[in-house]
Structure 1
């Protein structure tokens, strides 16, 4: 790593950290003050609320901090005529912004990796603490299709991986051929283990005199392999979020059942692709900066750069909300705009740099 690269990264990372910490403290502090009266008296729960809210805010603040830190760094370089000095020693534009782009890609990748962990449910957890539901996590009257089965859970406890009063109906064509009834079932080793199950089999050929239901009891049986409680919980909750791993599992599961997966695909695209919108912004901000501060309006540059970043971020945020509401399919509302944004930004960047 060259001395110039180390110098640029040191300056940029300092500004990035300052902006990130400032945004985190602002958003988390405002939210805490607004919801303080709703929070439990327990100091532990209040601390958990702050931690969950900090990570949820990080998903918003980190991409913005990447750009805002770069804007501040460029303003300082321009004001001190450092960009002129960089070019004077033979450095090219690529060598100036390349370290920042690379570290930004690393930070965004790290954020995406965190979205694959349970931290992805931070908003849900902080909401439960505020509503006094942190230790209560149950869903009732869930009815879903899984492969050749229709499954009814009177009560689902996702954290305990337990279901109560379950009915499993096995379907062949348009006919119910088997029913499993039990009071309790537990999810272990990627399967549901049903306790004290009553199994009712309907005869294949119906005859008035000889046909009868075959009823038997099993102390212990396993079924519904891969039917994960957390996926059930989030699919049932229309406003829930997913981690990347759970979203992938849910996408495979629901696709196999022929169920609409627009919401889940939208969540995946929003978590994996949308954060990279900042990379074209970094290039455009650099392209519209200036080497010389004498004829450069720093105030105007800073205002337009920040405003433009917020506009782009806001557009993708609104498009994601449209996708979550089922208005537009995610490929048209997220992927296509993302591709157009990258291509358009590169076009403007080349045009500006060539001029």
Structure 2
């Protein structure tokens, strides 16, 4: 690593940390002040609320801080005539901004790795603390399809990995051929085990004189292999989040059931692809930076850079909301615009480099 690269990274990382901490304190502090009257009196729960809110806010503030920190770094470089000094030493444009791009990619990968952990559900956890439901987590009246079965859970307890009042209807040729009824089921070894199940089987041919229902009892009956309680908890919730691992598991499972997966695909794209929108911004902001402070309006540059960053982020966030609500397919509302954003940024970059 060259001395120039070390110097640029040292300045950039310092500004990035300052901006990130400032944004985190602002968003988390404002949220805490707004909701402090509704929070439990327990100091432990309040600290947990701040922690969960901090992780949730990080998904927004980290990408924005990467760009804002770069803007601040460029303003300092221009004001101190350091960009002129870099070029005098033989540094090209690519040598100046490429270390920042690489560091940004690494930090985004760290953010994605956090989204693979239980911290991906920080918003739900902080909301439960705010609603006074942190120690209880139940879902009611869940109806789902699995292979040839339609399954109804009267009550689901995702944290305990249990369900109560289960009805399983086996369908063949659009007709119910078997019904399984049980009071409890639990998730273990990647399967759901139905306890003390009552199985009612309908005869294949209905005859008034000879046909009769077959009833038998099973101590244990397994079904829904690989369908994790957390997936059940989120897939059938109107507004919910997914960790990347759970989202991929849900996508694989529900695709086999021919269930609409637009919401899950949108969540995966939003957590993996959308944060990359900052990479073209870092490049574009740099190519529109003047090396000479005499012909450079720092105030206008800073304002337009920050405003442009917020506009681009707002557009992708709006497209994600459209995808999550089912208005648009996530491939058309997220992947295609992201590809277009990269292509447009590259064209602008090449054009500016030729001037």
Matches within 5 A, 1:14-163: 14-163=14-163
Please report how far the alpha carbon of residue 209 of structure 1 lies from its aligned counterpart in structure 2 after TM superposition. 2.3
SS at structure 1 position matched to 2:24:
helix
Please report how far the alpha carbon of residue 258 of structure 1 lies from its aligned counterpart in structure 2 after TM superposition. 1.4
Residue in structure 2 matched with residue 11 of structure 1 by the alignment: 11
Q: What are the ranges of 5 or more consecutive residues in structure 2 without an aligned counterpart?
A: none
Residue in structure 2 matched with residue 168 of structure 1 by the alignment: 168
SS at structure 2 position matched to 1:208:
coil
Please report how far the alpha carbon of residue 210 of structure 1 lies from its aligned counterpart in structure 2 after TM superposition. 2.2
Paired with 2:174 and 2:307, the residues of 1 have a C-alpha distance of 57
Residue in structure 2 matched with residue 276 of structure 1 by the alignment: 276
Paired with 2:10 and 2:145, the residues of 1 have a C-alpha distance of 54
Please report how far the alpha carbon of residue 2 of structure 1 lies from its aligned counterpart in structure 2 after TM superposition. 0.8
Matches within 5 A, 1:211-230: 211-230=211-230
Please report how far the alpha carbon of residue 256 of structure 1 lies from its aligned counterpart in structure 2 after TM superposition. 1.5
Paired with 2:139 and 2:325, the residues of 1 have a C-alpha distance of 22
Q: Deviations over 1:307-351 (max 9, x none)?
A: 110110011111111112211111111111101111001111111
Paired with 2:200 and 2:85, the residues of 1 have a C-alpha distance of 83
Please report how far the alpha carbon of residue 249 of structure 1 lies from its aligned counterpart in structure 2 after TM superposition. 1.3
Paired with 2:300 and 2:91, the residues of 1 have a C-alpha distance of 27
Residue in structure 1 matched with residue 313 of structure 2 by the alignment: 313
SS at structure 2 position matched to 1:200:
strand
Preserved contact between residue 227 and residue 250 of structure 2 (Cα < 8 Å): no
1:177 equivalent to 2:177? Answer yes
Residue in structure 1 matched with residue 324 of structure 2 by the alignment: 324
Paired with 1:102 and 1:252, the residues of 2 have a C-alpha distance of 32
Paired with 1:80 and 1:10, the residues of 2 have a C-alpha distance of 16
Please report how far the alpha carbon of residue 84 of structure 1 lies from its aligned counterpart in structure 2 after TM superposition. 0.8
Residue in structure 2 matched with residue 205 of structure 1 by the alignment: 205
Residue in structure 1 matched with residue 303 of structure 2 by the alignment: 303
Paired with 2:327 and 2:165, the residues of 1 have a C-alpha distance of 36
1:342 equivalent to 2:342? Answer yes
Residue in structure 2 matched with residue 186 of structure 1 by the alignment: 186
Q: What are the ranges of 5 or more consecutive residues in structure 1 without an aligned counterpart?
A: none
Report which stretch shifted further, 284-293 or 206-215.
206-215
Root mean square deviation, CA, Å: 0.9
Paired with 2:143 and 2:228, the residues of 1 have a C-alpha distance of 14
Paired with 1:57 and 1:26, the residues of 2 have a C-alpha distance of 10
Paired with 2:129 and 2:82, the residues of 1 have a C-alpha distance of 49
Paired with 2:350 and 2:110, the residues of 1 have a C-alpha distance of 29
The count of residues paired between Structure 1 and Structure 2 equals 355
TM-score normalised by L of structure 1 = 0.98
Paired with 1:275 and 1:286, the residues of 2 have a C-alpha distance of 19
Report which stretch shifted further, 120-129 or 323-332.
323-332
Please report how far the alpha carbon of residue 306 of structure 1 lies from its aligned counterpart in structure 2 after TM superposition. 0.5
SS at structure 1 position matched to 2:328:
coil
Please report how far the alpha carbon of residue 205 of structure 1 lies from its aligned counterpart in structure 2 after TM superposition. 2.5
